[in-house]
Chains A and B, each alone.
Chain A
């Protein structure tokens, strides 16, 4: 710790490390100094002048947000002069600020309201008419109301520094000054909405939330975003059973500040009118709505019959369902249906990484590690597009700790702007790594993040390279979806059980993988849970009975004989594991009439089949996972209180047949989210800026017709 200095605030003798800002030193001691523009983690601005304090022997009031504590400093934060200054500043801020609080989105959670309430400035000496400027819409997401703006620059800084985009600036000056977007009258940016969340007043409002409700009418439920693999905590504002907004203003969760457009706005798929709300059973060639009882009985009957005559089952799991659901599903498949034909869409080769790292401890980087590591290298991934939180973490690490960031990618990436960007096609990354060897070895500590192009033997080669550097190296195998990691960890694989033990150790034989199941002509039953394997494949088996659990009528659902409407991740309790192995808790927010969580569906089917798989309750299954799955003996309290608990490393080999051809990243950008993304109106409304995502050379981008008129940019082989 740096040298401590002694100083006095409001008569209290305090100590803090040299260099501590007065505003933070006071906060540490429980003394609140008000401010608008000061924001932890962003550059200093000293624009709002709310934090003026009196420092003895200094003739004028000083701003506490830029003033470091000094030895012997005597500070007064509540003197007559300071109170007068605060009141004066608030009166200034209210000069042109409209008092439309009764209709303003921010009313009730507005920092300006709170300050006026606390420090007073209810009376104004101004008689002049307030300046008015009409509200502007900059994108489907962002609206700006200039008169409400107090010019604290928080939005400008979070965009430039936090996101590395810099889409906002200040135009004009004096009373006419206002925030301006980077494209004249509109924004071209990540559309993440960080500027809206960080706005202390109602100047920036969101297209999804504005004028919909009052903050106190909602219930605020923290859960984990169901889109990409980064596992950001998002707080759902739920009113009358539907989500009105998502944000992370309390800065909890592994993501702190951060959410991308998907976390903040792409929750709207949940209330898409195309949601399935009743089970469907194929009757005379057509899917007809039936009761849950009939649908479950139909499935159970088919399962029993098929089992009785030793028919062939195939089970395809999901990248979005919870750990508990994935665990229960593989148990159902292996113990009840007696099949090893179980798989999921693999978006990264986690098993190969774990095997390559056997015997090492602490070799898997957590989300938090990305913010503290001295150096990081990204190989074949456009982090800002595909893994936005991880990109944010590295950027924050570079800003706050001067971390060295490297990127080896075929195309330009955002990391180039603050690190060392190297262009290399897939296959030549190791040549470039060799060239960087000395620099990397000199870093002392390194996190290597790699995309789906690095798989199987290349991962082993990468770990060998990491070992040869002679420094501490941690790895992140980049994956696509919210529980891609959990699907792999929970044994939705034909040859691996939960915790990556080989099926042979459990006395089973490896089964068919995803591609083999789709192309097998002799499957009797295909059970698809929350996946869309038929998006661009035709199912080979004509005779197979297809059971699908999903939210929407996807290509796969259309081929089903029985469709069971599933609840979304926002409508469930359970846990998910993010790309870095942080296990976090989902909490049920909204409800969709007629849909059930997948775990409940499994439980009901197990009951129909008298299978005796134990209680299908998330808590009970999580306990079983904690007890039995390698790496998942997690501290219950951390997960329960909404923290991210890191999975433990495996201390043994992973015996399995490498199948690199099955590792396929969907190449989602910031504005796509696989099949789910098609059903988010907000996500699709900003597609004019899909970003510059490069992709596997073998994958060509195509425009895929989604539901309705929505066109989704996807990549197809």
Chain B
């Protein structure tokens, strides 16, 4: 399996960043970067990372099962993560998640038919001071109300997301 030259370069650097016989330390970053490039953690990717990090595919599999940010199935173009951990929950995150689930017609870790949006209920993202918070791909959005959530979703659909302040 080959990756883009930029990613290959990143991997090459990763594999020299750890002490000898500790290549397994590169498993998490490799999976995460590769997932961004190919959309999900495929069985082929598991084999490849196992080979490069000199571990068994099962050991890579264990890591994927543990970390919720690694996905075996492709996510939407925009992956919407709603925190329902305690601080956000106290400020209405459960209602926000229900609203999201209802309006997007998505269950947890499901993707819209057009592949544009996926939804996930996540644990604390460290944005407690600005709760309730959501994360779209790598961007945080703070103090999210159902109305603000709808506007964000609209901007994802009409392509205006990220082009103007929302």
Report which A residues bind B (CB closer than 8 A).
Answer: 166-173, 177, 180, 182
Contact = CB atoms under 8 A, between A and B. Distances in A.
B17 to A, nearest CB: 24
B66 A180 contact: no
A205 B58 CA distance: 21
A182 B56 contact: yes
10 contacts: A168-B58, A171-B65, A172-B66, A173-B65, A173-B66, A177-B65, A180-B58, A180-B65, A182-B56, A182-B57
Contacts of A166: 56, 58-59
Contacts, number: 27
A170 B65 CA distance: 8
A219 B66 CA distance: 43
B62 to A, nearest CB: 4
A173 B69 CA distance: 13
B84 to A, nearest CB: 15
B58 A169 contact: yes
B71 to A, nearest CB: 14
Interface of B: 56-59, 61-62, 65-66
A47 to B, nearest CB: 14
Contacts of B58: 166-169, 180, 182
A430 to B, nearest CB: 32
Nearest to A170: B62
A168 B56 CA distance: 10
A161 to B, nearest CB: 13
A454 B66 CA distance: 49
Contacts of A182: 56-58
Contacts of B59: 166, 169
Contacts of A173: 65-66
Contacts of B65: 170-173, 177, 180
A182 B60 CA distance: 11
Nearest to A183: B58
B94 to A, nearest CB: 19
B120 to A, nearest CB: 15
A548 B87 CA distance: 82
Contacts of A167: 58
Q: Is the interface of A mostly helix, strand, loop or mixed?
A: loop
Given A166-B58, A169-B62, A180-B61, 5 more contacts: A166-B56, A166-B59, A167-B58, A173-B65, A180-B58
A166 B55 CA distance: 10
A177 B57 CA distance: 18
Nearest to B55: A166
A167 B66 CA distance: 18
Top 10 A-B residue pairs of the complex, sorted by shortest distance between their CB atoms? A171-B65, A169-B58, A169-B62, A182-B58, A172-B65, A173-B66, A166-B56, A170-B62, A169-B61, A169-B59
B19 to A, nearest CB: 18
A579 to B, nearest CB: 30
A330 to B, nearest CB: 50
Nearest to A178: B65
Contacts of A180: 58, 61-62, 65
A218 B56 CA distance: 40
A167 B58 CA distance: 7
Nearest to A171: B65
A446 B61 CA distance: 39
A541 B157 CA distance: 90
Count chain B CB atoms within 10 A of each CB in A166, A169, A171, A180 and give the residue with the most.
Answer: A169
B100 to A, nearest CB: 23
Contacts of B57: 182
Contacts of B61: 169, 171, 180
B140 to A, nearest CB: 24
B134 to A, nearest CB: 23
A144 to B, nearest CB: 15
Count chain A CB atoms within 10 A of each CB in B56, B57, B59, B65 and give the residue with the most.
Answer: B65
Nearest to B66: A173
Contacts of B66: 170, 172-173
Contacts of B56: 166, 182
Nearest to A166: B56
Count chain A CB atoms within 10 A of each CB in B56, B58, B61 and give the residue with the most.
Answer: B58
A231 B65 CA distance: 41
B50 to A, nearest CB: 11
A442 to B, nearest CB: 22
Contacts of A172: 65-66
A172 B59 CA distance: 12
A168 B61 CA distance: 11
A180 B56 CA distance: 13
A201 B141 CA distance: 47
A136 to B, nearest CB: 15
A177 B62 CA distance: 10
A172 B57 CA distance: 15
Count chain A CB atoms within 10 A of each CB in B57, B61, B62, B66 and give the residue with the most.
Answer: B62
A167 B62 CA distance: 12
A170 B61 CA distance: 9
A173 B67 CA distance: 8
Nearest to A174: B66
A168 B58 CA distance: 7
B56 to A, nearest CB: 5
A177 to B, nearest CB: 8
Contacts of A168: 58
Nearest to A160: B56
B123 to A, nearest CB: 10
A180 B61 CA distance: 9
Contacts of B62: 169-171, 180
A356 B62 CA distance: 52
B60 to A, nearest CB: 9
Nearest to A181: B58
A138 to B, nearest CB: 13
Nearest to B61: A169
B57 to A, nearest CB: 7
A670 B36 CA distance: 43
B115 to A, nearest CB: 26
Nearest to B64: A171
A355 to B, nearest CB: 44
A180 B59 CA distance: 10
A241 to B, nearest CB: 42
A167 B57 CA distance: 10
A696 to B, nearest CB: 31
B63 to A, nearest CB: 10
A252 to B, nearest CB: 32
A182 B62 CA distance: 10
Nearest to B43: A184
Nearest to B56: A166
A166 B24 CA distance: 15
B128 to A, nearest CB: 21
B122 to A, nearest CB: 14
